[in-house]
Structure 1
Amino acid sequence: MTAVLFDFSGTLFRVESTETWLRAVLAEARVVLSEQEFTKTAQALEAAGALPGGAAPQHVPAELAAVWEVRDRTPEEHRAAFTGLSRRVPLPDPRLHDALYERHMSPDAWTPYPDAAEVLGALRERGIGVGVVSNIGWDLRPVFRAHGLDRYVDTYVLSYEHRMHKPDPRLFAAACADLGADPREVLMVGDDRRADGGAAALGCAVHFVDHLPADRRPDGLRPVLDLVR
């Protein structure tokens, strides 16, 4: 292998819990809910799938179905899809829905998996190119910089910047081209069998990890080092 491509959410980073996400936004807005109200609201937001990178929606309303299908194509569609889901849940102030969306783009909302720096650093030492290929509606580079992982990444291929999303093989092809790598010598690492599995159409090897909370997946990325030998 001459290069490794990684997904972002659920692969290299994990988003904070719905409870932490909501609590941070309420604190910033100085809005107080009783514990009962808070718990009920957090559970409703999680069921709605309102936190990008968190639990999938239990149900996508008909009026959001179209934008949900293309949510990773543009920043506007991404925001519309997730704030649309959030607005299914009553909040004390309507402005909190946009505040929740803004919060999820903050580096503070994301935690690298415990072995991410170790694995990325080892790949760099071996001279193996590293790319991040993500279905996303916003610029995740500041998250990598804030957590000290940007120095290990050679290229970012983000769906909203290319107006297409995984599993479209053109995204993986763009990353391989950026790295000057033959797709047949590239490993794609991700947590979504459909989206990340799209790399196989180019001849890339594919390895899947479990999308778990960071403290429950301490070494899920380490097998990558064996796969690239």
Structure 2
Amino acid sequence: MAAVLFDFSGTLFRVESTESWLRAALDERGATLSGPELAEAARALEAAGALPGGAVPVELPADLAGLWAVRDESAELHRAAYTGLSRRVALPDPGLHDALYERHMSPAAWSPYPDAGTVLRTLRERGVGVGVVSNIGWDLRPVFREHGLDPYVDAYVLSYEHGVQKPDPRLFSVACEALGADPRQVVMVGDSRAADGGAAALGCRVHFVDHLPVAHRPDALLPVLDLVR
């Protein structure tokens, strides 16, 4: 294999818990909730699917369905979709909805999976190209830089920068071209069969991992190294 493409959320990194996310935004705004109130608000936000990279909505509001379907095609759509979901939950300060959105873009909100660094570094040592292909509405490069993984990534292909979202094969094609790799010699690694599976249309091999908490998935990326020997 000449190159490996990785999804971001749920594959290389995992976003913080909804409660941690809410607590950070409350601190930022100088707002407070009691313990039970915070727990209840976090549960409501999680059910709403308001945390990007977290749980999907339990029930998608009809008036947001169209926006949700194309949310990763631009920064504006992404923000509108997720703040629209968070506003379904009553919070003590209206400004918290924008604060929550800003928080999720912070490198502090993300943790790499334990084996991510080892896998990316080993691929670099083997001369294998690495790309990150993500359905996202903001620039995730600072997250990689903050966690020391940016030196191992050769290309970032982000949906909002191209107006195309996975599973559209065009996004994977951009990544393969950026790496100078024949898609038939590329592995796509991701956690979503619906989205990341789109790479198969180009002839890429696709390898899936489970979207689990960081502590519960210590070594799921290591088998990727066997695919590129």
- In which range does the TM-score fall when normalised by the shorter chain? over 0.9
Q: In 1, Cα distance between the equivalents of 2:163 and 2:27?
A: 35
The residue number in structure 2 matching 1:156 is 156
TM-score computed with the length of structure 2 as normaliser: 0.99
The residue number in structure 1 matching 2:135 is 135
SS at match of 1:88: coil
Q: Is 1:18–2:18 an aligned residue pair?
A: yes
Query: What amino acid does structure 2 have at the position aligned with 1:205?
Result: R
Query: What amino acid does structure 2 have at the position aligned with 1:140?
Result: L
SS at match of 1:23: helix
Equivalence map 1:29-40=2 (5 Å): 29-40=29-40
2:28/2:99 contact within 8 Å kept: no
Cα deviation for residue 27 of structure 1 reads 1.3
SS at match of 1:72: helix
CA deviations over 1:83-110 (Å, ceiling 9, x no partner): 0000000000110000000000000000
SS at match of 2:111: strand
SS at match of 1:178: helix
CA deviations over 1:130-154 (Å, ceiling 9, x no partner): 0000000000000000000000000
SS at match of 2:8: coil
Cα deviation for residue 29 of structure 1 reads 1.4
Q: In 1, Cα distance between the equivalents of 2:135 and 2:33?
A: 34
Q: In 2, Cα distance between the equivalents of 1:140 and 1:159?
A: 11
Equivalence map 1:9-158=2 (5 Å): 9-158=9-158
Equivalence map 1:209-224=2 (5 Å): 209-224=209-224
Q: In 2, Cα distance between the equivalents of 1:102 and 1:196?
A: 26
Q: In 2, Cα distance between the equivalents of 1:220 and 1:180?
A: 27
Cα deviation for residue 2 of structure 1 reads 0.5
Equivalence map 1:145-224=2 (5 Å): 145-224=145-224
Cα deviation for residue 31 of structure 1 reads 1.1
Task: Give unmatched runs, 5+ long, in structure 2.
Answer: none
Q: In 1, Cα distance between the equivalents of 2:10 and 2:61?
A: 25
Cα deviation for residue 199 of structure 1 reads 0.3
Taking only the aligned residue pairs, the percentage that are identical comes to 75
CA deviations over 1:55-112 (Å, ceiling 9, x no partner): 0100110111111000000000000000000000000011000000000000000000
SS at match of 1:44: helix
SS at match of 1:194: helix
SS at match of 1:103: helix
Q: In 2, Cα distance between the equivalents of 1:218 and 1:87?
A: 35
Q: In 1, Cα distance between the equivalents of 2:29 and 2:163?
A: 34
2:173/2:202 contact within 8 Å kept: yes
Q: Which stretches of structure 1, 4 residues or longer, exceed 4 Å deviation after superposition?
A: none
Cα deviation for residue 34 of structure 1 reads 1.0
Task: Give unmatched runs, 5+ long, in structure 1.
Answer: none
Cα deviation for residue 28 of structure 1 reads 1.6
